[in-house]
Each structure stands twice: as structure tokens, then as C-alpha cells.
């Protein structure tokens, strides 16, 4: 007997270790002194401090609480009424059919509930012709919907348990049905109502999937924010927040557990009443605060600007940098005050996407209401051709003059009227971990002979990362094969797909901004990615290097430009212009360029001395000429990208700094590069082909053995055999039983 | 009159439960221009999508079986503890669920990576020479993610039914000469069958439709139904195909639940014997 309890205890302890292992990791790394979530480098509280200055996260927390409170209250009211009505129903068929419909959101997979509501909203929104129909309202409806069944199912049993004669007695004594409900029935079912409310509140607090499909612009809940963070990197301040939540819930649960057992029995009626009052007031206060917050936020004049940008693509105030969005808020609030003498509250609502295709799908789904988006060249072409962008009023953007002449007429926006203001441009290169790369390949890179083929090298099986978006992933294969990325035939797409399928067994994972963690942490050896981000990673890990893939000695890779645009459905057009103007100003543009490491088309940046020093250009700017005199090497029309040595490798000094200068590879060819290697918007047919081929590639799995199917089949057969065996035994016994009866 | 109190809920349910499902069906059977077609459903029966469905079924099935195997003893041993301990244990089982599942899954990544925490610990114990245990981006990691996230949903119903079994029944079985193992298989197991089914449903349904776990722990190499549906809506912008997939997913779940309920129903009879 004793042995068994010991075994049981050990088993339970092991189970709890399993359950709590990731949570321990999370708590541990919330005290990490570096921003890594996989290497512990020292103890510090700094992320707890960061948390309270991370306005976006705190905003998301506020939104999440607001949504949870409102949706659980609404669901509780509707649900309690429904339970009352259902309880009083006499028609059994009606009752059971209502109950089965009610349970649908519980039984259906979350993703189906989410997309079904999204389809409804998109369809109805389309009919109404509304510009933006996904938003706070739609998420609220969705949350109430999945909360309702839980409320009803926790209230209904209380009605059933209640003595039926009680309300009858009350009514005999002269109560109206309404009075009897509030005087007699409500107190009896209150525990059910409260537990339903709490359950709805927690479900809504934690929901990700359903919000993900029904949320619009400008409203971000905490789970959604975490999701977009896990697409690039989760900063430890999110871990800090989770730790705080975890600890406070632990304390709450422990307290309620400790008090509930003994003291509740001993509690006098008076004490019980007091507890009830306390709980009641607590909820009341929460409700009142919510209402006040709503009224206050409606009362003061607030201008909200919804900015939708790539992940890790703006200076966000981390580690002593300028928080560009906050700076804009302050700048505009002051400007508005100086101009009008009135106070205004500006709030930049900043959310991120991982790829152009995500942005497009989001815009098309009706989650509009974005005021600023920053898509890439080919996507701009497409958005423009579908009339999803609006013209910029250059009079409102005096800083447009900061953009260098050569970047004012890019191929995607070369008409008289301007739709875009270029934010950055860059190329796709290959980032590698020099510690893990074979010396031969390293030598090849140093000799400037390495091309795309390293990404297809068997040696690096399981060490290669590939883009997780169709255009860039197919781009790598097409550049490698020498296929024109913009005029591919069906045959060409097929070839590229074959090549990618060949690569699939070697690929560790398909990533977008997750690459930061994976490369910096040494998880992967090789990946193609955007140059600016590569530099950023190199800044964090000195083992990493970067090269431009070449074919026959010539750099063959994608060059891209990202530009700020205003969608035609924008609500704050004037403020959006102000924002673009601010982003082009020296202050903001320099901060961004230094933070994201992409090449800037902005004169104010390139001429900024601090930027030149920071980017290492300073040393190289002045060169000695034949006469031994210092002459500036660069003239006004230069562009700046990483310095390459004669072998095409980036120059990095001992401190891990790298130099950004005028690059001769790209200098002469910038125009040509854009013409040859930039992606253009594809014809509908090609795009469909690309999407289909990408789908086929993604769902195809060669790396996946059949073993697991066989395993599954064996278990299934065993279960069925067991079932049949039980059935036979049962029949045998039953026969035996009947025989003995006879 | 009093029945009218249910009216708001009924209206709500028609608008936001039934209507959305009708839209799923509508989109599943129409093309981009809104005309009727079977091509979306047909597309699913291509070899590649069939494999996705098969893989999801397989992974979800394995995750459910593993959950059951792990959870049953936990629930059993928990039910044997003192009532007060039981309360604390239940609380501890549910506590991780209060943290966002995205962040819990994300921190599994830090554990499982080749340069991750488990491998660092192993290296610390066995020296630097051993090659790292390759765990992340495998099918095992995806199944582990499912098991981890949905295990509590299996433990709780099992525990509640096992703890309600009358101890007299167990004593009677023991008195009649049953070994402890036979008590377990002949009494406890059959009595908890109905809640095994509810636990299985609560693990199987989210496992088969998950779309985040496989992306993070499987590195995008093991596309599951959820991932494919998500991609249609969030990236590829093909609502019709996505709706068709959701429709088929709903059918799969309905069918498997029907099978499970039937299976459980038959075994309920076994208790009598």
C-alpha cells in the first residue's frame, strides 16, 4: 500500500514538473539581463521596468480587460435571462433544440467559430458598403457569443435545483413575476450567475483564436499582441507581465482556498452578507470604472492614428533609442496647441504584420481603418491598381523634399501624382553563422564566389531557414536558377517549385521575423533575409556574417523598397500626412535608420553626422587622394549600404560595428537593379499560380516519414480489437446470465 | 410570458451562431464571384490536402491517446489524496491555463531548441561531446505541444468522476478477491468511461484544429488543418477554400464525436455486468 502512494507521489510530481517547466523558463527569463529568451546572461529587474514604459503592451492589457469585462457582463445578463426563459419552457423539443444550438460554440473548434463570424462580418460589411467593419464591436460580439453557452450552462442547473414552489409562493403572496424573479429566484441562482460571470471573464481574457479572426485595426488585445510578438521575438517584458499575472493569480487562488475551507463554515450570516456586499461592490466598482473610462475616453478630444507596419521596423524606444511614435504624439500635440490654442490627445496605435501578403489579406478582409501602411514595391503596385491607396498631398508633407531625387520616381509610383513616400530600401542577402559554416564555404564567401546554392547544400540539412512568404521564397529559387522573377511562365514556376521541394528536407523551418531569435541564438546556420535585418542580427551576435549571393560574379538578388502610404479607407487623412511628414524629418528618420539598419533614401539621414558616425561611415567618408590630401569620397547622390571588402564580404571591425557606405556594386546599378531584380506586381494568373504552388509546397512533406501513420493505425486497430473483445465478452456474460435466470 | 426572457438569446444565437455557420457553407460552395461550385471541396481531395487532413487526424489522435495515458494515473492518484490536498492539486493543474497559451508554447521553444535549455542541461551533465538531442521542428515536438496545452482538460473530468466513485464499491471488489489492478480495470475504469469520452473530446477537438503549435514547434514543416485554414484567411486571401476546409473539419469532428459517443454508450452497458 505504501509503495503505491510513493509511486503515486512521484508520478504526480513528474507530471507537475512537466506542466510547470515552461512556466519556470518564462519566470527565469523575465529576470534576464539581456533581451534573449533562450540564453540567460545575468539577473536583473530591468524588464519589469521596461514593462511599465511599454505603452503598447499596457494599452493591450487595458483593451483585454475592457473587452473581458464588457463581454462577460453582457453575456451574463443575456445568458441569465435565457436560462430563466429556457427553464420555464414547457415545449421539450423547443427546449432541446435551443440547448443544442447554444452548445455549438463550445463544441465547434475555435478556428471554425472565428472564421464563421469573420465571414458573417465581411459579408454583411460588404453589403452595407461600410469602409471598416472589423473592430471593437465585432470582437465584442464574438466574445459574447462564445461566452453565452458557459453562462447558460452554469446558471441553468441552479434553476433546476431551486424549489419550484418558492416563486409560486412569492407570487401567491402578491409578487409580480418580475418582483419574484428579483426577490426569490435571483438570490437562489446567484452562485451560478457569479461562476458563469467569472468563467466568461477568464475565457474572454485568454481568447486568442476567435479574436484573431474578428479583430480590426486599432484595437489590440494582449493575446493578439503576444501573437504578433512571437512572430518576431518576444521581449522579456512580456515574460515579466506573464510572471506578474501568474503570481497574482496564484496568490488569489491560494487565499480563496485557505479562507474557503474553515472560515466559510464558521462564518456567521452577517459575515456572509458582508462578503456578498463586498463581492457585489467589487463588481459594481469595476463596472463603474469601465463606464467612466468609456465616458472619459469619449469626452476628451482624441485623435487616433492607426499605423500598420512590418515587425521590427521602427525605432521603438527600446534600449535608449527614440520612441518615434511617442515623439510624434508629443510633436503633434504641441503643434496643434500652438496652432489652435486647444489641447488634443494624439494616440498612435501601432500594429505589425509579417509579410506583404498578410497586409493585403487584412486590408481586403475589411479590417481597414488603417491610416498608415508601409508595404513593399510590388504590393504598392497591386494596392494602387485596386484603388486601395489614396494620393498624397505633397503640400502637407514639406519634408518630402528630404527624399533624394533618385528615389522620388520609383517604378511603382512614377506618375505625376504621388501615392507613396519611400521609407527604406534594401536587398536580400544571405546571413550565415561563421562558426558553423564549413571552412571551404567560408573561403568561397570570402572570395566572393558564393551564390544561392549554399541554401541547397546537403551539408546544412536542418540548418537552413527559408522565407515563410510565397514571393520571397520563390524568389530565392528563381534567382538561383536564373529565372526572371517578373515574367515567369507556368513552366518556370514549376521549376522553381521543384527546386524548393528539393530544398524542403534541408529546411529547418519557414520563418519571417522569427529569424532574429533563431540566427542570433545559433539555432540555424544559413538563411536568406533582408539586409537591414541581417545587420541588426550581426549587431547582436558577432559570429554572424552576411554576403550578397552572386551568379557568374554578378550580384543576383532582390532589391526592394518599402514606402509609406495612406489607404483609401483611412479615417485620419490629415494626421496621416502629418505622420509621414514627421517620419521624413531628420529626427525621426535618423532614429529609424539607426535602429533598423536599412538603407535610407532620406538626405537628412545620410547627411546627419551622428548617423555617419554611428554607421561607421565617418572614417571612410574622407579618403586620401593621390596627392595625399583628404577628399570626400562621396558625393551627393550616393546611397549607403553595407561596406563590402574586395571579396564581397561585409567589413566588420573588432567591436562588431560594421560600416555603411556607398557601395560600388550597387552604386552604378541601382536603377538597373530596380529594373531587373525588384519584384513587380504579378498578373492575376501568375499570382494564382504562385499561390497554388506555394500551397502545394507548404502542405507537401517529404521530411515526414510514414512511421507515425503506421503507429497510429496500430493503436487504432488495437482499440477496435479491444472494443470488439469487450463486446463479445459482454454478450457471452449476458447469455450466461440469462441462462442462469432460466 | 416568462419564456420571453430567452428571446434575446435566441435572436443572438440565430444571428451569431447559426448565420455564421450558414456563411461557412455558403462560402464553401461558391467561387470568388459567388456562383455555385464544388471545386473548393474538390480541391481538398487533392493528394496534398488529403495528407494535411490525415496528418492532423493522426497527430490529434496520438495527442489524445498520450493525454489519456498520462492523465489517467494523475487523476487516479489525485483522487486518492486528502480532500484538501485534492483541492490544491486541482488548482495547480488549472493554474498554467491562466497564462496565455501562445506564450507557454513559445517558452517550449526555448526548452526544445538544439541550443536550448534541455540540451544545455544535458551537455552540463554528460559533457560537451554529445551531439545535441534534436527535438524542435519534429512531429514529436508538435504532439508534445498539443499534449502539454490540453492535458488539464483531460485530468479535470477524469478526476471529478474518479473522486466520486463510491469507496465502498472498491472495498467490495477487494473483499470479493480482486487484486488492486483488477479493481482498477473492472470497477474504476468502466465507471469513468463516460468522462473519458468528455476528456477525449476536450483534447481531440482543439488538437485537430490548432494552428499555432505546429507553426512554432514544427517549424512550418508539419502543416495541419488549422494552419492551412489560417493561411487561406490571413495570407492567401482565399475565403472559399478556407471555408470549404472548415466545413470538412466540422464534418470530421461531428463524425468522430458520434463514433466516440457510440463507443462509450456501448461500454456503459458493461458496468451492469
| B1-20 per-position pLDDT tens digit | 677 888 999 999 999 999 99
Residue A143: its pLDDT value, please?
96
- Which cell is B266 given? 456501448
User: Interior CA angle at B24 toward B20 and B30, to 5°?
Assistant: 135
Structural domain spans, chain B: 1-37, 46-272
| pLDDT for the residue B273 | 28
Where are the domains positioned within chain A?
55-234, 302-424+563-591, 426-562+596-699, 707-737
| Residues within 8 A of B (CB atoms), A 408-467 only | 462
**Residue A114 to residue B246: CA distance in whole angstroms:** 10
Helix, strand or coil, per DSSP, at residue A599: strand
What is the per-residue pLDDT for A316?
82
**Closest approach of A18 to chain B, Cα-based (Å):** 8
pLDDT of residue A517: 83
**pLDDT for B166:** 87
Best residue of B12, B118, B235 to probe chain A, by most A CBs closer than 10 Å: B235
B189 inside 8 A of chain A by CB: no
- In this predicted structure, what is the pLDDT of residue B133? 82
Is A108 an 8 Å CB contact of chain B? yes
User: What residues pair up with A426 in beta bridges, in sequence order?
Assistant: A560
| Chain B contact probe: residue of A119, A152, A361 with most B CBs at under 10 A | A119
As a whole number of angstroms, the distance between CA A511 and CA A492 comes to 24
For chain B, say whether A79 makes contact (Cβ under 8 Å): yes
Alpha carbon distance B71, B90 (integer Å): 12
CATH number of A55-234: 1.10.3720.10
- Chain B neighbors of A140, CB-CB under 8 A: none
CA-closest candidate to residue A525, choices A503, A498, A507:
A507
| Number of neighbouring beta carbons within 10 Å of residue B45 | 10
Alpha-carbon torsion A51, A56, A59, A64, what sign? negative
Question: In the CATH hierarchy, which fold is given to the domain comprising A302-424+563-591?
Answer: D-Maltodextrin-Binding Protein; domain 2 (3.40.190)
Q: List chain A residues with CB under 8 Å of B97.
A: 206
* pLDDT of res. A610: 76
A152 contacts B91? CB cut-off 8 A: no
| CATH number of the structural domain B46-272 | 1.10.3720.10
- Considering chain B, what percentage of its residues have pLDDT values greater than 90? 39
Q: Which residue in chain B is spatially nearest to A725 when comparing CA positions?
A: B267
What was the pLDDT predicted at A257?
72
Q: Which contacts of A634-639 are long-range, i.e. CB under 8 A and separated by 24 or more positions? A: A634/A661, A634/A662, A637/A404, A637/A405, A637/A406, A638/A606, A638/A662, A638/A667, A639/A404, A639/A406, A639/A599, A639/A601, A639/A606, A639/A663, A639/A666, A639/A667, A639/A670
Cell numbers 546544412 correspond to: A460
Q: How many CB pairs under 8 A join A and B?
A: 312
Dihedral sign, CA of A236, A238, A240, A246?
negative
Could you tell me whether strands A660-661 and A641-642 are parallel, antiparallel, or unpaired per DSSP bridges? antiparallel
**pLDDT value at residue A282:** 67
Q: CA B227, CA A111: separation in Å to the nearest integer?
A: 10
Question: Given an 8 Å threshold on Cβ–Cβ distance, is A206 in contact with B100?
Answer: yes
Residue A452 vs residues A476, A550, A553, A698, B224: alpha-carbon distances, Å: 7, 7, 12, 21, 30
- The x, y and z cell numbers of residue A734, run together, are 449476458
Task: Find how far residue A280's CA is from the centre of its chain.
Answer: 37
H helical segments located in A629-706: 664-667, 670-677, 684-699
Three cell numbers, residue A146 = 462564445
All residue ranges of chain A with pLDDT < 50 are 1, 617-623, 631-642, 653-665, 667, 703
**Is the whole-model pTM more than 0.90?**
no
What cell was used for A560?
A: 526592394
Q: Which of B18, B111, B253 sits opposite A21 (nearest CB)?
A: B111
Question: B159-185, pLDDT tens digit by residue?
Answer: 988 888 888 888 898 898 888 888 888
- pLDDT, tens digit, 9 for 90 and up, residues B252-268: 998 888 887 776 654 44
Q: Could you say which DSSP state residue A464 is in?
A: E
Closest chain A C-alpha to B213 CA, distance in angstroms: 12
Residue in B closest to A222 by C-alpha = B100
Residue A436 and residue A544 in contact, taking contact as beta carbons nearer than 8 Å: no
Beta carbons of A701 and B240 less than 8 angstroms apart: no
| B102-116 residue pLDDT tens | 999 988 988 998 888
Mutate to test the interface with A, among B107, B183, B252, B256 (most CBs of A within 10 A): B107
Check CB contact of B67 with chain A, cutoff 8 Å: no
Rounded Cα distance between A357 and A695, Å, is: 14
Q: For helices B239-272 and A707-741, what crossing angle results, to 10°?
A: 30
Question: Which residue, among A652, A456, A663, A466, has the nearest Cα to A559 in the 3D structure?
Answer: A663
Question: What's the rounded Cα separation, in Å, for the pair A503 and A163?
Answer: 70
**Chain CA centroid to CA A453, Å:** 32
Q: What is the pLDDT of residue A583?
A: 95
Q: For residue B126, what pLDDT is reported? A: 79
- What's the rounded Cα separation, in Å, for the pair A59 and B93? 30
Q: Are A55-234 and A426-562+596-699 in the same CATH fold?
A: no
CA angle A426, A427, A433 (to 5 degrees): 115
Residue B145, classified by CB atoms within 10 Å of its CB into exposed (0-12), middle (13-18) or buried (19+), is: buried
Q: Tell me, yes or no, if B54 comes closer than 8 A to chain A by beta carbon.
A: yes
B212: Cβ contacts below 8 Å, ≥ 6 apart:
A208, A227, B101, B102, B105, B226
Assign A18 to helix, strand or coil.
helix
Query: CATH 3.40.190.10: does it fit domain A426-562+596-699?
Result: yes
d(CA A118, CA A127): 14
Please give the full DSSP string across A257-293, using - where no structure is assigned. Answer: HHHHHHHHHH--HHHHHHHHHHHHHHHHHHHHHHHHH
Give residue A297's pLDDT.
54
Q: Residue A223 and residue B100: Cβ atoms within 8 Å? A: yes
Amino acid at each position: 500500500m505504501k509503495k503505491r502512494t510513493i509511486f503515486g507521489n512521484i508520478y504526480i510530481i513528474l507530471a507537475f514538473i512537466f506542466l510547470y517547466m515552461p512556466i519556470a523558463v518564462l519566470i527565469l527569463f523575465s529576470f534576464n539581463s539581456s533581451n534573449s529568451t533562450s540564453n540567460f546572461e545575468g539577473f536583473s529587474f530591468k524588464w519589469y521596468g521596461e514593462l511599465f514604459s511599454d505603452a503598447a503592451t499596457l494599452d493591450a492589457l487595458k483593451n483585454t480587460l475592457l473587452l473581458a469585462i464588457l463581454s462577460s457582463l453582457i453575456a451574463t445578463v443575456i445568458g441569465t435571462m435565457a436560462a430563466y426563459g429556457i427553464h420555464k419552457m414547457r415545449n421539450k423539443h423547443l427546449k432541446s433544440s435551443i440547448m443544442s444550438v447554444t452548445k455549438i460554440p463550445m463544441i465547434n473548434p475555435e478556428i471554425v467559430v472565428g472564421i464563421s463570424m469573420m465571414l458573417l462580418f465581411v459579408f454583411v460589411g460588404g453589403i452595407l458598403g461600410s469602409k471598416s467593419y472589423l473592430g471593437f464591436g465585432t470582437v465584442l460580439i464574438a466574445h459574447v457569443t462564445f461566452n453565452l453557452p458557459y453562462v447558460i450552462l452554469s446558471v441553468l442547473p441552479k434553476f433546476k435545483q431551486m424549489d419550484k414552489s418558492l416563486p409560486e409562493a412569492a407570487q401567491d403572496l402578491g409578487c409580480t413575476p418580475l418582483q419574484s424573479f428579483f426577490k426569490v429566484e435571483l438570490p437562489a441562482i446567484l452562485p451560478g450567475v457569479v461562476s458563469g460571470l467569472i468563467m466568461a471573464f477568464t475565457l474572454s481574457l485568454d481568447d486568442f483564436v476567435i479574436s484573431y479572426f474578428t479583430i480590426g485595426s486599432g484595437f489590440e488585445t494582449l493575446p493578439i499582441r503576444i501573437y504578433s510578438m512571437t512572430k518576431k521575438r518576444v521581449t522579456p517584458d512580456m515574460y515579466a507581465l506573464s510572471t506578474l499575472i501568474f503570481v497574482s493569480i496564484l496568490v488569489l487562488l491560494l487565499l480563496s482556498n485557505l479562507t474557503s475551507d474553515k472560515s466559510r463554515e464558521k462564518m456567521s450570516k452577517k459575515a456572509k452578507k458582508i462578503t456578498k456586499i463586498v463581492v457585489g461592490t467589487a463588481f459594481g466598482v469595476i463596472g463603474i470604472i469601465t463606464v467612466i473610462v468609456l465616458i472619459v475616453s469619449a469626452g476628451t478630444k482624441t485623435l487616433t492614428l492607426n499605423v500598420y507596419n512590418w515587425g521590427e521596423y521602427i525605432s521603438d524606444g527600446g534600449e535608449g533609442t527614440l520612441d518615434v511614435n511617442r515623439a510624434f504624439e508629443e510633436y503633434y500635440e504641441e503643434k496643434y496647441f500652438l496652432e489652435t490654442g486647444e489641447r488634443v490627445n494624439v494616440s498612435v496605435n501601432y500594429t505589425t504584420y509579417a509579410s506583404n501578403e498578410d497586409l493585403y489579406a487584412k486590408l481586403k478582409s475589411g479590417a481597414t481603418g488603417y491610416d498608415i501602411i508601409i508595404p513593399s514595391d510590388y504590393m504598392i503596385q497591386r494596392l494602387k491598381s485596386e484603388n486601395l491607396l489614396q494620393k498624397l498631398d505633397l503640400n502637407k508633407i514639406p519634408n518630402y523634399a528630404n527624399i533624394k531625387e533618385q528615389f522620388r520616381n520609383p517604378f511603382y509610383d512614377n506618375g505625376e501624382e504621388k501615392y507613396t513616400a519611400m521609407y527604406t530600401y534594401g536587398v536580400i542577402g544571405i546571413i550565415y553563422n561563421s562558426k558553423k559554416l564549413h571552412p571551404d564555404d567560408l573561403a568561397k564567401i570570402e572570395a566572393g564566389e558564393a551564390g544561392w546554392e549554399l541554401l541547397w547544400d546537403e551539408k546544412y540539412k536542418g540548418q537552413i531557414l527559408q522565407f515563410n512568404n510565397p514571393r520571397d521564397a520563390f524568389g530565392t529559387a528563381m534567382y538561383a536558377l536564373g529565372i526572371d522573377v517578373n515574367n515567369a511562365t507556368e513552366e518556370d514556376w514549376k521549376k522553381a517549385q521543384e527546386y524548393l521541394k528539393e530544398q524542403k528536407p534541408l529546411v529547418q523551418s519557414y520563418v519571417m521575423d522569427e529569424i532574429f531569435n533563431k540566427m542570433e541564438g545559433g539555432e540555424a546556420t544559413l538563411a536568406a533575409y533582408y539586409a537591414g535585418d541581417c545587420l541588426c542580427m550581426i549587431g547582436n551576435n558577432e559570429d554572424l556574417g552576411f554576403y550578397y549571393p552572386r551568379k557568374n560574379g554578378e550580384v543576383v538578388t532582390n532589391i526592394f523598397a518599402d514606402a509609406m502610404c495612406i489607404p483609401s479607407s483611412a479615417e485620419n487623412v490629415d494626421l496621416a500626412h502629418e505622420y509621414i511628414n514627421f517620419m521624413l524629418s531628420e529626427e525621426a528618420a535618423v532614429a529609424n535608420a539607426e535602429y533598423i539598419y536599412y538603407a535610407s533614401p532620406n538626405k537628412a539621414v545620410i547627411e546627419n553626422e551622428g548617423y555617419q558616425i554611428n554607421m561607421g561611415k565617418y572614417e571612410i567618408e574622407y579618403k586620401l587622394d593621390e596627392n595625399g590630401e583628404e577628399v570626400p569620397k562621396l558625393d551627393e547622390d550616393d546611397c549607403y549600404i553595407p561596406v563590402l571588402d574586395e571579396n564581397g564580404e561585409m567589413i566588420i571591425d573588432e567591436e562588431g560595428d560594421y560600416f555603411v557606405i556607398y557601395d560600388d556594386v550597387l552604386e552604378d546599378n541601382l536603377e538597373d537593379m530596380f529594373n531587373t531584380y525588384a519584384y513587380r506586381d504579378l498578373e492575376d494568373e501568375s499570382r494564382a499560380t504562385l499561390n497554388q504552388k506555394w500551397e502545394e509546397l507548404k502542405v507537401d512533406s517529404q521530411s515526414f516519414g510514414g512511421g507515425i501513420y503506421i503507429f497510429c493505425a496500430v493503436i487504432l486497430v488495437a482499440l477496435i480489437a479491444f472494443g470488439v473483445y469487450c463486446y463479445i465478452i459482454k454478450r457471452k456474460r449476458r447469455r450466461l446470465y440469462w441462462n442462469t435466470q432460466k | 410570458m416568462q419564456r420571453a426572457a430567452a428571446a434575446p438569446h435566441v435572436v443572438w444565437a440565430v444571428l451569431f451562431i447559426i448565420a455564421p455557420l450558414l456563411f461557412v457553407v455558403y462560402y464553401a460552395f461558391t467561387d470568388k464571384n459567388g456562383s455555385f461550385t464544388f471545386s473548393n471541396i474538390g480541391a481538398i481531395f487533392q493528394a496534398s490536402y488529403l495528407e494535411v487532413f490525415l496528418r492532423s487526424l493522426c497527430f490529434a489522435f496520438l495527442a489524445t491517446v498520450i493525454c489519456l495515458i498520462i492523465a489517467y494515473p494523475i487523476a487516479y492518484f489525485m483522487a486518492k489524496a486528502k480532500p484538501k490536498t485534492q483541492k490544491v492539486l486541482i488548482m495547480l493543474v488549472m493554474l498554467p491555463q491562466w497564462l496565455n497559451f501562445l506564450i507557454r508554447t513559445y517558452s517550449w521553444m526555448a526548452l526544445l531548441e538544439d541550443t536550448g535549455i534541455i540540451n544545455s542541461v544535458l551537455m552540463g551533465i554528460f559533457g560537451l561531446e554529445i551531439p545535441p538531442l534534436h527535438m524542435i521542428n519534429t512531429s514529436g515536438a508538435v504532439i508534445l505541444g498539443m499534449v502539454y496545452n490540453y492535458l488539464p482538460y483531460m485530468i479535470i473530468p477524469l478526476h471529478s468522476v474518479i473522486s466520486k466513485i463510491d469507496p465502498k464499491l472498491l472495498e467490495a471488489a477487494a473483499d470479493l478477491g480482486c487484486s488492486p489492478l483488477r479493481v482498477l480495470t473492472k470497477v474504476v475504469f468502466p465507471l469513468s468511461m463516460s468522462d473519458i469520452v468528455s476528456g477525449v473530446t476536450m483534447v481531440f477537438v482543439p488538437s485537430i484544429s490548432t494552428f499555432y503549435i505546429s507553426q512554432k514547434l514544427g517549424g512550418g514543416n508539419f502543416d495541419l488543418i488549422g494552419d492551412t485554414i489560417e493561411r487561406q484567411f490571413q495570407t492567401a486571401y482565399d475565403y472559399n477554400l478556407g471555408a470549404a476546409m472548415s466545413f470538412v473539419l466540422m464534418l470530421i469532428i461531428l463524425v468522430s464525436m458520434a463514433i466516440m459517443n457510440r463507443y462509450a454508450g456501448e461500454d456503459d452497458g458493461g458496468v451492469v455486468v
